[in-house]
Structure 1
Amino acid sequence: MKAGDSAVRETILIADDEEEIVSLIADALEDEGYQVWTAFDGEQAVAMAERQPDLIVLDVMMPGKDGYEVCQAIRERVACPILFLSARQSETDRVKGLALGGDDYIGKPFSLVELKARIAAHLRREKRGQGAERTVLRYGGLEIDVQGHAVRLQGREVVLTAREFAIVELLALHPGQVFSKEDIYDRVWGLDAVGDASTVTEHVKKIRAKLGAVDPAAAFVATVWGVGYRWERG
């Protein structure tokens, strides 16, 4: 899947102070269709993790906060898989990383083929963990068929554009979680898209109008003033 495609892409944060390694991994993952965010020190990693990526590749030895400190700082707020990447390969280092909340520990030098395989495996495991019922989401009278890209409200079909559906899918898969307009734009349009996050506001207005035309009481997309949008369970 290339940048600009309408479906929501899985987002991977790479945090490593070695720019060549970040570039190498980012290119490989983007070729696989992932959306990639990058950070080059511990503070940047914590800030980017707050945007809720789908998976984090985290170097241990970084300036400022090291990878262990980053993991400890974000783990209670970030549920996605964290894969440590480090030249420190002793059993003590591996155990420490896993004990702090890491899901995997990969030593440097590493194989790109193996890294991609592990990333794909963790993301598949996350999807399986959501349960089969997650392919059809139900909130009150609203039904979202994720695989079929269809939305029905009170038994009536609601016709959404590809972008509108991608926004609904993103929010509905994370009920109660607040996404900024910038987060939504990056995930739905892609980092290489030409435009800005203000277009998200217009798409949300259209989504609300289409849902409201079927049921005026429908209020699934809530505005969190000064922050962004959140999905209400209804």
Structure 2
Amino acid sequence: MQYKILVVDDEEEICNAIKEYLNIVGYIVYTANNGKEAMERLSILPDLILLDINMPGMDGLDVCKRIRTHVNVPILFLTAKIEEQDRINGLMAGADDYIIKPFALEELHARIVAHLRREERGKGKKNIMGIGDFIINYSERKLFVGEKEIFLTKTEFEIVELLSRHKGQVFDKETIYEKIWGFDKEGDSAIIMEHVRRIRSKFSKEWKGEVIETVWGVGYRWV
């Protein structure tokens, strides 16, 4: 199977360089140079989207917010920004990961492989876990409290699945990152902290009990 990748960046040289490299390693690559073109390219049904944040007009954050409820594929931001708040804003818009410019094409490829592999793992898992009215449907990647669905992003669900499948086991932030994204990435604990904060916020609206416990100085566990 050849995966389809959509690359969105207002710099044509970057688009062309990424396209040429990914074509060589076996992907079908489509490009767009602005937010409007990106929206139009969604008809190709990409398996993964590489999305630049800083584009004129409709920037990457706006594109991500608009498509996330309709597109259930990994979205990786390409960004020259390095402030923690910018990364958090990207996650809140619905992105799964980010890579900071300038980057090596080999690293970009490694992240793409990790995310696509993660997608395939998710498709193959079957079963349901219940805690009273709290239900996780792993095969459909959905979570319910009673009959009400709690909507999680792809990465949020991956974290819930990792912790809930290993109830009581403590995972530090670096290990969670490595297991979710498929490779080691020291220094990105803020990403995990923000995802967990958002998961808890969504849970708290429908569920009274504590589900994800912070083990101070260590990490998190499912209780």
1:128 aligns with 2:121: yes
Query: Partners in 1 of 2:41 and 2:67 — Cα distance?
Result: 10
Report the counterpart of residue 93 of structure 1 in structure 2: 86
Q: CA deviation at 1:89?
A: 1.5
Query: Partners in 2 of 1:18 and 1:30 — Cα distance?
Result: 18
Query: 1:81 is matched with which residue: 62, 71, 74?
Result: 74
Contact 1:14/1:36 (8 A) holds in 2: yes
Report the counterpart of residue 105 of structure 1 in structure 2: 98
- Deviation track 1:149-192 (CA, whole Å, cap 9, x = no partner) reads xxxxxxxxxxxxxxxxxxxxxxxxxxxxxxxxxxxxxxxxxxxx
Query: Partners in 2 of 1:122 and 1:15 — Cα distance?
Result: 18
- Unpaired segments of 5 or more residues in structure 1? 1-7, 134-234
Report the counterpart of residue 13 of structure 2 in structure 1: 20
Higher RCO by CA contacts (8 Å cutoff, separation 6 or greater):
1
Report the counterpart of residue 60 of structure 2 in structure 1: 67
SS at match of 1:94: helix
Q: CA deviation at 1:51?
A: 3.1
Amino acid at match of 2:112: I
Query: Partners in 1 of 2:52 and 2:12 — Cα distance?
Result: 12
SS at match of 1:76: coil
SS at match of 1:114: helix
Moved over 3 A (4+): none
Amino acid at match of 1:25: I
- Deviation track 1:130-165 (CA, whole Å, cap 9, x = no partner) reads 0167xxxxxxxxxxxxxxxxxxxxxxxxxxxxxxxx
Query: Partners in 2 of 1:24 and 1:89 — Cα distance?
Result: 22
What TM-score results when the alignment is normalised by the length of structure 1? 0.52
Q: CA deviation at 1:99?
A: 1.3
SS at match of 1:56: strand
1:32 aligns with 2:25: yes
- Tell me how many residue pairs correspond in the alignment: 126
What TM-score results when the alignment is normalised by the length of structure 2? 0.55
Q: CA deviation at 1:58?
A: 0.2
Q: CA deviation at 1:47?
A: 1.5
Q: CA deviation at 1:100?
A: 1.1
Q: CA deviation at 1:49?
A: 2.2
Larger radius of gyration: 1
SS at match of 2:49: strand
Q: CA deviation at 1:111?
A: 1.2
Contact 1:50/1:78 (8 A) holds in 2: no
- Unpaired segments of 5 or more residues in structure 2? 127-223
Query: Partners in 1 of 2:44 and 2:57 — Cα distance?
Result: 20
1:44 aligns with 2:37: yes
Contact 1:72/1:101 (8 A) holds in 2: yes
